[in-house]
Structure 1
Amino acid sequence: MKQEAAERKLLAEKQKKLNNEERKFKVEMDRNKELLSRETDADKITQLQDRLKELELQMMNIEEKKEEIASLTLGKAGYVYIISNLGSFGDNMFKIGMTRRMVPQDRVDELGSASVPFKFDVHAMIFSDDAIGLEQKLHKELNDSRVNKVNFRKEFFKTDIDSLKNMVEDIDPTAEFVTTMLAEEYRQTLAINESIAV
């Protein structure tokens, strides 16, 4: 019991430290975005964009650490998401991940922020009491389709939408699965490019 209490205290301290770091990086990101919106010098714009990319990576690293702490603190419940980004990765590339956030869409929005040119489309958001196990099961079934076979934290898989839909329906027949790739921003961008070319 004493050891568990000590571990919980340590996790709470780590969580607090990560929250402080996250706040600090967010303030710097907002400041850089503000400067970027007013900057006209090309070199300074490049510097600000590079710094924003660095901060984005640091924020993602913090998020991963927070997810790890949540997993140790909250148990296994959460959401498994299947998302795609047609404009960034093409039509047969999917990310399958897991989040414990109360509003799981927040995680998807975060993934589609500054690190990719377009927002992600959500194909499935499955709640599970054992989200870790469900995510691992999907990853295992798709292992041959894994894009990065060295770093398993990169949860991208090259497969087709119908195979994923069938897999999800086998696991949870009640889960809603969207086969359409809306890719609104990407399609709007294509339309704008076409109108410019005319």
Structure 2
Amino acid sequence: MREEAEERKRLEEQKKQVALEEAKYQAEIAKIQDLLAQEPEDSERRADIEAKLQELNVQLDLVEEKKEEITKLQNGKAGNVYIISNLGSFGDKVFKVGMTRRLDPQERVDELGSASVPFKFDVHSFIFSEDAVGLENEMHNRLRARRLNKVNLRKEFFEVSLDELEQIVLDINPTAAFNRTMLAEDYKQSLSLGEEEIPLSNSDDTIEQSDEDDPDNGEND
């Protein structure tokens, strides 16, 4: 799938960037350790050097954690299942339940809301799993009777109440965070604007969106 290939390419680029960061911190730590070895025990500068070394080690730990996350995502099954809604586009009882392998799942949500719908999506839950594919399938199976498009299963929209969806998430993963709020900021702001308050369109600012640019076209997440 196109989306999967793009995500794997993105992860590979992120892995290279993380490797550069890791090498940078390792080199800096080696320099600081050399300085510390040469510094007398009673030196006033020693405490500052030790503090700097501790700070660099913390940064290196964070980089190594990110490296591990990328490796898990590259293994094929790890990822995040996301649950999102779009009040202005679909109402308050339609949710999209999908999966992404991106290191930052919010990137995928932002992409989905950038072109194919008039308003941005609200996130109700990101659930990380070592087997995100299996978790997504379990969610879809529990919601199969609520599926809107029963022909094209890649369209992962379900008609379900917020209460029921929250309960399903808690049944599957009791530790998962679930946000019940539908902010729908652009939609609510649009409702509050009178016709005279809506800015005139400028043809120079309007770009016709083709099907090829639709982030939900031909994808299964």
> In the TM superposition, what is the alpha-carbon distance from 1:193 to its structure 2 partner?
3.3
Report the counterpart of residue 147 of structure 1 in structure 2.
Answer: 148
C-alpha deviation, 1:174, in angstroms:
1.0
Alpha-carbon distance change, 72 to 145 in structure 1, aligned in 2, over 3 angstroms: same
Q: Which runs of 5+ in 2 are unaligned?
A: 12-71, 198-221
User: TM-score, normalised on structure 2?
Assistant: 0.57
Q: Distance in 2 between matches of 1:160 and 1:135?
A: 18
1:63 aligned partner: 3
Does the 8 A contact of 2:73 with 2:79 survive in 1? no
Distance 1:184 1:123 in 2: 15
Q: SS at 1:150's partner residue?
A: coil
Higher Rg of the two aligned structures: 2
1-side partners of 2:158 and 2:172: how far apart? 18
Which protein has greater RCO, CA pairs closer than 8 Å, 6+ apart? 2
| Greater CA drift, 172-181 or 77-86 | 172-181
Partner deviation per Cα, 1:84-122 (whole Å, 9 max, x = no partner): 000011110000000010011000000000111100000
CA displacement at 1:66 relative to structure 2: 3.3
2:164 paired residue number: 163
* Counterpart secondary structure, 2:138: helix
Which amino acid letter does the alignment assign opposite residue 3 of structure 2? E
Residue identity matched to 1:114: A
For 2:160, the aligned partner's letter is T
Supply the distance in 1 between the matched residues of 2:143 and 2:80 (Cα, whole angstroms).
Answer: 18
Shift of 1:62: 3.4
Q: How many residues align?
A: 137
- Determine helix, strand or coil for the equivalent of 2:83: strand
SS in 2 for 1:111: helix
Percent identity, please. 62
User: What TM-score do the two structures reach when normalised by structure 1?
Assistant: 0.63
Look up the match of 1:189: 190
The list of structure 1 runs, each at least 4 consecutive aligned residues, that deviate by more than 3 angstroms after superposition, is 64-73, 193-196
RMSD between aligned alpha carbons? 2.5
Deviates more, 1:186-195 or 1:122-131: 186-195
Distance 2:74 2:102 in 1: 13
Q: Where do 1:114-153 residues align within 5 Å? A: 114-153=115-154
